[in-house]
Amino acid sequence: MTLPAWHALLAPIPDDARPSRQPVGSAEILATPAGAAIAGWEQLVLELSMGSLGHRVVLVVLDRSGTVISASDSVLCRYEFAEPSSLRGNPVSPVEILHESVGGRFEQDGTFRGTRWRLVAPEPAEGEEPQWESTATEPSAADVAALRALVAQLLERRPPRT
């Protein structure tokens, strides 16, 4: 199976991909006293589809001054293998569902606080829920550098405010 190069977690995004700008909450939430704290914040959202093979979403949250507060990259894919793979040491279907994500908060001191997740499941029978095996790790320095590069790409490509 051949997947596009951008399908992988933290991979550069296609040259023609453009994020959308969205408020971080609905007008009803932003009109409340609690919502006032995030009024003027926005999110840049980039959704990339691989059709039936999967989906990738890159999200960046900016405060009202335009400072990056948080970012995440998430990929959900369906993989078919030539031979059965194993999950927890047991042979499973040659089809697996993979969900990888990394995300977190950029602190004022320049550090990053977040988590990298990898969830794998054999493709379930029709009508059944996937049985996910999940692993959480601390993002590596390379992960954080790649996430910062994605943030820079989205900031360069964000549409003007309307």
pLDDT digits (tens, 9 = 90+) for 94-143: 557 788 999 999 999 989 999 999 988 876 667 777 778 899 999 999 99
Beta strands 42-49 and 20-23, pairing class: antiparallel
The pLDDT of residue 114 is 97
In a domain, 55, yes or no: yes
- Return the higher-pLDDT residue of 162 and 83: 162
In a domain, 8, yes or no: no
18: Cβ–Cβ under 8 A, 6 or more apart, which residues? 46, 157, 159
Report residue 120 as tokens. 């794998």
Q: How confident is the model at residue 80 (pLDDT cuts 50, 70, 90)?
A: low
Mean pLDDT of 29-57: 90
The pLDDT of residue 120 is 85
In a domain, 38, yes or no: yes
The pLDDT of residue 3 is 67
Q: How confident is the model at residue 161 (pLDDT cuts 50, 70, 90)?
A: confident
pLDDT over 80 at 86, yes or no:
no
In a domain, 7, yes or no: no
Per cent of the chain over pLDDT 90 is 57
- Return the higher-pLDDT residue of 122 and 90: 122
Q: Sheet containing 54-62: give its strands across.
A: 20-23, 42-49, 54-62, 68-80, 95-106, 112-122, 133-137
CA distance 128 to 89: 21
- Residue 73 is part of which domain span? 16-157
Q: How confident is the model at residue 78 (pLDDT cuts 50, 70, 90)?
A: confident
In a domain, 153, yes or no: yes
In a domain, 2, yes or no: no
Question: First vs last Cα of the chain: how many Å apart?
Answer: 41
Domain count, the chain: 1
Question: How confident is the prediction for the chain on average, in pLDDT?
Answer: 86
In a domain, 1, yes or no: no
pLDDT over 90 at 145, yes or no:
yes
The pLDDT of residue 94 is 52
In a domain, 10, yes or no: no
